[in-house]
Structures are given as C-alpha cells and as structure tokens.
A and B are shown apart, each in its own frame.
Chain A
Amino acid sequence: MTAVFLETPKRLVDVEIDGRTVRVPEGATLLEACRSAGIDTPTLCYLENLTPVNVCRVCVVEVEGSRTLVPSCSRAAETGMKVHTDSERVRTSRKMVLEFLSSSADLSLASADVQRWIAEYGADPSRYGDPEPPHAAGARDATRPGEHEAATDGAEAATVHQPVKYDNDSYVRDYSRCILCYKCVEACGEDAQNTFAIALAGRGFDARISTEFDVTLPDSACVYCGNCIGVCPTDALMPASEYHMRQEGTWDESQQTVTSTVCPYCGVGCNVDLHVQDNTIVKVTSPLESEVTHGHLCVKGRFGYEFVQNRPDEQ
C-alpha cells in the first residue's frame, strides 16, 4: 500500500493592493501577491530558490499603518493589509535604490528587466557627478572598518570599480559589477552548496564579497560548483568561457541556442541547459524551476563539458 500525504489546505488571506482585493494563500509574501495580481515589482536580491535577505530594498511597498516602507519580497501578506505599490514614496525609494546602485556599480550586464526599471523609475546616476577612478587591485579588500577615508571633496562619486579577479580557469569575479545582493553567499552557503567559501567582509560602503583574507579561489574552500554564478544578477560572476568571448568581442547571444538535457555524469540526473554558439558549448546553466536542481549544479555539470567538444576532427 502506498501512503498518500495530502498537504493541509492553506487558508486564504485577502489583501488590498492599489485598491484591488487580492487573495493569496496564507504565508504568501506581498511580492507574490503583487505578482499574482500582475503588478510589476522590481527585485534584485530576491530569488525563488534562496532565503530572502531583503537588503536591496528595490521591492519596497507602502503598507498603511507602517511608518517605513516594507520589503515586499519578505513581508507576509496579512488579512486587511492595505498596500500601495505606486505611491510617490514608493517610486522615489525605488528610483533612488536603482540610482545609488547604478552610480556606484556597473549594471550594464544586468537583466533587461533591470535596464527597464532604471528607465521607468527615472534613475539618473549622473546626478552624483563623474564616477571616481577605479580602485587599485586589492585596495578595497584592504580597507579597515570604520576608518574615515581621506576626506572627499564630493566632486566625484564613490564607486566599487576595481580590476577583475581572475585567479582560476573556471570563472572570473568582476566586483565592479557587484551590488552586494548576498545571493552568491547564500548559494555558496546554507541555501545550496554548504561550502562557505565566500562571505561578506568589511563594513559599510567598503563591505565586499570575499574569501578569508581575500585569498585566491584556489586557496579558498571553493569547489567551483558555479552556483554563485547562477544566482548573480549583474554578471559580476561569469564563466571564464563567456568572459573570454566578451573580451574578444565574439560573445553573441543572438547566435546562441539553448539545449535542455540531463547532466551525463551521475545518477542524480540534474537538468542542464547547454548554451551553444557556433556548435560549441559556451556556458551551462540549470533552470531555476527544475525540481531536481532548483538551478544549482556541481562542478561537473557546470564546467565538465569540454570532453564533448574534444572532437577528433578538430584536433
């Protein structure tokens, strides 16, 4: 006999969003409620397969009775809540978050959605003046918490720009693009990989993603699963294959096909998407919705594809 476990049916809660009543299961977040009502809500640090850290604050909404805005990605919907997603306060905060990030980091490779939000909310990074010149390699890693920087004259806008960290064959870390969304740390830690090779270091604007003492990835605990790459919203983390092609100017997504298949290595059977350009695999990802992987792979599935391309006719 097989036992069939039925989930206890969830109670439903009604929230009012922008004047409309939206019914969601108990425990659903305001973001889920907004999305189910078809309301476009920007997110940066939120991802379905990670625990919400609610740090970017681009998803904030106004809840009547709350002094401050609330992050929709983590606040549970409660019966009777009255929510506004398009008030002046909400629009200003979203614009400013996007403006703060685009004036301090390089968002040029962030998704089309992000580019659209920047335009729609009218974020204008030029309001802060020209960006300061990039930091020397390692300079941001050497900052001390709480130490005043040399007094700024405010003419240039502080940024996180710095040289790319390229210390292994699998992937590069371009922290000029990092918006400190914590996703890579979560993916490397408790939400997926449990390797804990990277963490937040430093404090304030000098906070950064780092290995212990900024040692290279080969010296760190990193096992090159690439799950951090999979969740990074700005392509700060990028497979070396893609990085090289972009450097050479040959990366062309319009020329790429995506083939969904199953990883050839072990019995788990992870779903993999092979990104192919010119009959060559240029990148491997896994779909977020996959019940097997939730978007996460191991080093073999993510990077172990070269044997496929080691074709005798090309040698």
Chain B
Amino acid sequence: MDLKLSAEQKATAAEKAAVDKVIGPSETGWDGGERQARDAHVAFGGHAARSRRHLLIGVLHAIQEAAGWISPGALDYACERLTVPPAEAYGVASFYALFRTAPSPGAVVHVCDDIACQVNGAEDLCERMKRRFGDAGTEAAFDGSGVTWQRSPCLGQCDRGSAALIQRAGGQPARVQIAPADPEKIWSYLTDPQSQGTPAEPTIRSEEEGADGPGPAPRLLTRVGAVDPESLGSYRAAGGYQMLRRAAGLGRHGTLREVKEAKLLGRGGAAFPTHIKWDAVASNPVRPHYVVCNADESEPGTFKDRVLMERDPYALVEALTIMGYACGAEQGYIYIRGEYPLAESRLAHAIETARAQGFLGGDVMGEGFAFDIEIRRGAGAYIAGEETALINSLEGRRAEPRNKPPFPAQNGLFGKPTAVNNVETLLSLLEILRIGGPAYEATGTENSSGSRLWCLSGCVSSPGLYEYEFGATLREVIDGAGGVRDGRSLQAVLLGGAAGAFVGPDSLDLPLTFEDARAAGATLGSGVVLVLDDTVDLASLLRRITQFFRDESCGQCVPCRVGTVRQEELFARVASGTPFSAERDLFADIASVTRDASICGLGQTAVSAVDSAVKLGLIPGASS
C-alpha cells in the first residue's frame, strides 16, 4: 500500500524505540528502516505487511507511554511500520480516552466522578482536585512536564469511596490506580512513586469480607485471598490445574456437555447460554478458532472481574485454556481494560509462569493439545466491552460494534469463528468441572444455576464483592453487606449498572435471579447493586448517567449518537426546572428509537435506567 506520510516533525528516537520495542526493529526500507540496495528489487506491501494491523493499539500505547501523546511524526512511523493509512490510525488513536492526540502534560490524573463515586462525594473530591491542581483540563507545574487532571467514568474501584488513575509518560510505572483517592495522596505518589510500594495493592480491602462473610461457601471467591496471586505453586497447592486435567479426561465433547448440562448463562451482562456459543464455534469447520476473555469491565459500578484477576489470575488462565480446548482454539486473548494495570501485570506474570511450566504452549500439560494466551490492553472505551466492538479493537480498529448477524461464532476475530466470554463466566467453568454439570445445574434456581458475584457499592455499610447462590433476595444481599449505612432509609437501588434499572424499597424481596429480574422489568447486568439512601440527589445521578452514555457512545449509529445527546439535554432541562411532564412525549420517542433502532446494547439500554426512574416516580414531576 502506498502511504503518504506528511508529518513535518519526524518521530523522535524515543518514540521510534518505543514502537520498535513492541514490534521489533524494521527489516527493510519498506517498513520504516534504512533503505538498502536490495530494497529496490523487492516489494513488501501486500497482505503480509497489512496483516500486522492488529498490533496498532499496542503500538499506540507504547508511543503514549513514551511521549505523553501521539504526535504526527510518531503516528507516521507506526503507520509505516504496520502499513496502515495515517487517517485510519488517527481515527483509532482519537477513539480511545487513554490516548492523546495533542501535546499533553506528562502526567494525567483521571478522577472518577461516576455513579458510585458520586454517592460518595466525587464532586467534593473534584473541588479539592481543583484547589490542588487547578481547573480540570488545565496544566499544573510538575516535574518539568506538567500534570493535568480530568473527570473519568467508572474505574472499577467502586467499593473504595473514590478512585483515580494516574497515567504517566516516560516514567515507571506508566499507569497506576489510587483508591480511595485524594489530592495529597495523588501528589505524594506523583512526587515519589516508590513511597507507596506497589500503590494499588493497599487499595484492595473489603472483598475478603465477601469471601468469608454471610452466605453459602464461596465458589468463585474460594482462592481470593487464600492463594498468592504471583505463585503458580500456591495456585496448584490450592487445587489449581486439576480442572484442566479433568477436562482433558472428559475430552472436547465431554467438556462441552458439562457446560451444557450446567445451564451456565453469561455473567457479562447479556445472560446468553454459554454452551450455545461454544458449540457453534467448536463445530464450525472453518479454522482457526479463537477464544477471547472479555475483561474490559467498564459498566459503572462493576469491579468483580478486577478483583478476580488481581487475586486469582491463574484461575482465569486455566479456565481460558479449558475454553480453548473445548472450542478447538489454539490461541486465546484476554482483552483487559487499560485502567487495570495491576490485574494486567498479574495476568501477564501468570501467563508467563504457566507457559514456562508447560501449562500453555505446544503440548499443554502433556495432554496433546496446543494453546497459548496473549493479553491485549484496551485504551479507555466502555463500548469496547461489547463483544463485536472488542473484536474490532483486537484487530487494531475503532471499537465500533458490528451489525449482527453474522455472530462472532460464524465471523469473529479476523473473520474466524470466535467465542467471547466474561471473566466471571469463565471462572464458573472451574466450578462446573469440579462438581459436574448436573450438580451445578442443581444449585441456584430453576433458570439461574450456580452462584454469582454482586458488586455492592454506594450507601451500604460494607461495600465490596459478595458471592451468593442464585436465589438470594435483594434484601439478603444488602443486609449481608451490613445494610444501608448509618441506619438511614433506602431510597432506591440501581441494579445492573448504568445500563440497568432502578428498583424501589418495595422490591427488596426480589430474588436476584435472571428470571425474577426480567419479570420485574429489571436486569442483573454485570452484578451491580448500587445502594442509594434518602440523602442521595437522584436528579444529579441521572444526569451523570445520561452524560455517561453520551460520552461512551461510539457514534456509529444515529439513534445512539444523537439520541444520547438529546437525552442528556432533556434531563438538563428537567434539572433546571422544566417539569418532566412537558418532556414526556419527547422522552418516549427518544426511548423508542434508541431501544428499537440502535445497533448495539449501548444504545438499546441508554434510556433504561432513566426510564425506570421515571416509572418509579423518582423524578420530580414525573409521577404518573
């Protein structure tokens, strides 16, 4: 492909080195190296050159980390190395929130002001950030290259009260989460990263309370806190890799049968039967097959996958290996959101040590099948969690969802049969193999088998991660976390995240199962239970939700691209005094087109939470 590279400033040595570190040095004058005599007689530009497109996002991460932004010269160099047109690469760079395409301070602090943090004083934190660092988006002096801060969507630390992500260029480490966050802690970390050891480590606290708190014996959380997440030996001592051995004993079909008999439903939000996807991929004659773990966890209020990956990374590696075996895939990917540096490094370590000891590679555990895993880091986009958008992102593209059909099982990653599953879904697989599909099916309720993780946050005494067998009621789950804090009364609960629905205090006896939630017009989504007491200003929470969808829409389809903006404007008018009754018809039309005509689940659920609040009469002037 003929590329026109016109940046006046060429890539700096540091930028080039960062790119080369990811994809190796250039070999010829054709891909950005020194032009040599023999280059005149050969051409490298066809499919082979273009087939490296999928490395683009990793390369952009490297440039961002080296220079603090993606300069035109660096982008040109990346394009030359990967044979990608600069306009397209710019389209990718400008899609993701962790990339900057204009000169930028060396340190960027992303401060969460999303729903759970809102309830815990995010506005106050932003005010303090402003006093310490100046207005959001402005630059404060620091370390020669400056620091800036900005508001961020949920960072997956919702049980901590407040959260921030620090992104740094040039230095080590490049990204770190601070939770709970305050301006002084952020400042002291910035000035002396060593001062806090591994800074994200002490921010993990309350999930153990879930592990040995109320409810039946934990299944998904058994190893959390009990094994050393950085030791394969510790994982094996806790029974690790026995399930992979068992799966190999059962064979592909036997393993698929267990999953089918377990009636496992996906835990990522859509509650789709796992075995249907796996069977479709396993039986597809087209090769190769791919398996993907969706670790993009960005639904506001959700932090379960982070905890599992940080505290029990080998379990995910083992489960994904079993999934690969069952689906006939030799390559698996874990797509993890860029805001989770600790989970990413633990997983990377787990994969490396597992590979070194033959748990990944050409002959996994001597069982005669090959499988390996690569981690791919997201770059700040909620929509990348939608499975077809995730596949586009893995291919080095903008995370725009694809139209379905065709489904990934027919036409997924690189056009091949692909199965995508959530982290928690995969960990459930280990439990299924441990006790057997039929026994697993017997737990929980009729249509919701097994157990589930609940992310409790907001106005609850002990926020954290709690595991219950399906069937526990909302009241039991909230009481299990100590109930509404400070003895206040409950105003509402947001179930399932920003894409979920509010339920009122009269729904406390709702059993948290897929079927009961559906019947009640709610959804379990990704397991969010955001508790809101009578002091919470629901109007501003709703505005934050409308902002979230506006900010996170990929922009591809009209109903969602414009509809999320019109919804935000509508609620801004309501917040400034227009009675909702005057907006009711317009809201109904916006709700109708976004639900019915949007391409993907983001647009289709963009009005859900707000709509449920209207129906519950939580909006002034909306009670019907």
A residues with CB within 8 A of B: 54-58, 60, 68-69, 71, 74, 89, 92-93, 95-97, 100-101, 103-104, 127-129, 142, 144-148, 151-155, 157-158, 179-180, 194, 196-207, 210-213, 215, 219-221
Contacts and interface: CB of A to CB of B under 8 A. Distances in A.
B573 A100 contact: no
B550 A221 contact: no
25 contacts: A54-B599, A55-B558, A57-B598, A58-B558, A92-B593, A93-B593, A96-B589, A97-B593, A142-B102, A145-B381, A151-B547, A152-B568, A158-B565, A179-B558, A196-B87, A203-B398, A204-B551, A204-B554, A205-B555, A207-B554, A210-B90, A213-B7, A220-B6, A221-B86, A221-B87
Given A100-B562, A204-B555, A145 B89 contact: no
Most buried by B among A56, A57, A154, A212: A212
Contacts of A180: 555, 558, 561
Main secondary structure of the interface of A (DSSP, over half): loop
B468 interface: no
A199 B87 contact: yes
Given A145-B95, A210-B87, A215-B6, A203 B592 contact: no
Contacts of A151: 543, 547, 572
B195 interface: no
Main secondary structure of the interface of B (DSSP, over half): helix
B330 to A, nearest CB: 29
Interface in B556-573: 556-559, 561-566, 568-573
A89 B589 CA distance: 10
A153 B573 CA distance: 6
Given A100-B558, A219-B6, A204 B550 contact: yes
Most buried by B among A69, A89, A148: A148
A172 B4 CA distance: 21
Contact of A205 (B85, B561, B599, B604): B561
Nearest to B554: A203
B4 A220 contact: yes
Contacts of A179: 558
A145 B96 contact: yes
A162 B550 CA distance: 20
Nearest to B93: A201
B65 to A, nearest CB: 18
Give me the 10 closest cross-chain CB pairs, A-B, nearest first.
A207-B555, A154-B572, A196-B85, A100-B562, A96-B593, A146-B97, A212-B86, A154-B573, A154-B569, A199-B91
Contact of A97 (B4, B150, B558, B595): B558
A201 B85 CA distance: 13
A68 B597 contact: yes
A203 B98 CA distance: 13
Contacts of B547: 148, 151
Contacts of B624: none
Contact of B89 (A92, A101, A147, A212): A212
A259 to B, nearest CB: 34
B295 to A, nearest CB: 19
B59 to A, nearest CB: 15
Chain B interface residue number, banded = 35 or more
Interface string B479-522: 00000000000000000000000000000000000000000000
B247 to A, nearest CB: 34
Contact of A96 (B87, B101, B592): B592
A108 B243 CA distance: 64
B94 interface: yes
A58 B559 CA distance: 9
Nearest to B152: A146
Nearest to A127: B586
Nearest to A58: B558
A204 to B, nearest CB: 4
A96 B563 contact: yes
A100 B566 contact: yes
Given A144-B100, A201-B94, A205-B555, 10 more contacts: A57-B557, A92-B592, A100-B566, A145-B380, A147-B97, A147-B551, A158-B565, A203-B554, A213-B101, A220-B6
Contacts of A204: 550-555, 561, 564
A104 B398 CA distance: 23
B559 A100 contact: yes
B562 A101 contact: yes
A180 B400 CA distance: 14
B590 interface: yes
A66 to B, nearest CB: 10
B88 interface: yes
B566 A68 contact: no
B556 A55 contact: yes
Contacts of B575: 154
Given A142-B102, A221-B3, A221-B85, A89 B551 contact: no
Contact of A74 (B403, B561, B589): B403
A55 B557 contact: yes
Nearest to B71: A213
Contact of B576 (A92, A142, A154, A200): A154
B569 A205 contact: no
